[in-house]
Amino acid sequence: MLKVTHNAGFFSCCNVRLREIINYFNENQEQPKTVDSSSQFILYKPRYLLYNDITHVFFVNDETTNIYYKKNINISSETSEDQFSNYKLLNIEDIKPFIGKYFSPSQEIIEIQKKLISKYKINTNNCIAIYYRGTDKYKETILGEFSKYDEMINKIKETVAYKNSSLLVQSDSLHFLNYIKQNHNNVIIIKENKTSIANQGIHLEKDNIGNQNFVDIKILFATFLIISKCKHVICSSSNCSLWMMYYRGNTENVYQYLINDFL
């Protein structure tokens, strides 16, 4: 059995869980029979689930799939922290079996995703998705001026094929959402997701943190799945963006802001 205890944001927990599963595989040349995450995701647990492993709420518990490799798996060819690495250098093909086995979205998440797509009439084949992780992320990386994201949107829209594309915009920063709305038409914002004007992580701002986060993260997770399927993705660098890449399964038409510019 593998026990993972890391706690932080939801996708930070996912990332460490994935890394430890792969490390276990590399050391033992077999997958762990059980992955115990009962000590993880504390910020997202209602009090009555505080000591439970809640991963089954978000992910399919796939006990039938077996992973076979005859080599060690490296997540990236870079040595930088995963979320702040160049996503085009991720070894996504090697990672896919682990995502499929341990992190496939649960039926509940898939149903939320379907409802959001229907409600907001999202056509991912004709959609430019923009994700900007604001609030407290400035403590970890350079976020970039809003105008940089605006320039990238315009650059994509300059091509005839995407001139009339809708813009699916997700951010915890209300200032960023307002900026994009003021500068563009055909903007889709999933209003069920929370926003903030503060510089504290939005998952830390609520009075009843565990209960509210338990509800909110399901909607945010479903939103990220939608973003991952969009024709183009413009994103800042974060664990959330990283996991969009894993669910996308490639980095085609992805424009990642890292340090001082888009890659």
CATH code, domain carrying 238: 3.40.50.11350
Q: Are 209 and 50 in contact, with CB atoms under 8 Å apart?
A: no
Q: From the CB of residue 254, how many other CB atoms can be counted at a distance below 10 Å?
A: 21
Domain-embedded: residue 128? yes
Domain-embedded: residue 221? yes
How far are the Cα atoms of 6, 41, 99, 103 from residue 9, in angstroms, in the given order? 10, 7, 18, 16
Task: State both tokens at 60.
Answer: 């399919």
Domain-embedded: residue 116? no
Domain-embedded: residue 161? yes
Per-residue pLDDT band for 110 (boundaries 50, 70, 90) equals: very high
Per-residue pLDDT band for 204 (boundaries 50, 70, 90) equals: low
Q: What is the pLDDT of residue 137?
A: 85
Same domain, 89 and 173: no
| pLDDT above 60 for 205 | no
State if pTM tops 0.85: yes
Q: Domain residues for 69? A: 2-102
Same domain, 127 and 199: yes
Q: What is the pLDDT of residue 80?
A: 73
| pLDDT above 90 for 138 | no
Same domain, 128 and 229: yes
Same domain, 85 and 204: no
**Angle in degrees, 0-180, between the axes of helices 209-228 and 107-119, rounded to the nearest 10:** 70
Per-residue pLDDT band for 224 (boundaries 50, 70, 90) equals: very high
Same domain, 94 and 20: yes
Per-residue pLDDT band for 207 (boundaries 50, 70, 90) equals: low
Same domain, 154 and 76: no
Same domain, 220 and 96: no
Dihedral over alpha carbons 102, 103, 108, 110 (to 10 degrees): -130
Same domain, 126 and 27: no
What's the average model confidence in pLDDT over 101-122? 98
Q: What is the pLDDT of residue 239?
A: 96
Same domain, 133 and 186: yes
Domain-embedded: residue 167? yes
In the chain, the number of structural domains is 2
Same domain, 74 and 157: no
Of 34-38, 82-86, 136-140, 235-239, the one with minimum mean pLDDT is 136-140
Domain-embedded: residue 113? no
Same domain, 157 and 198: yes
| pLDDT above 70 for 160 | no
Same domain, 46 and 159: no
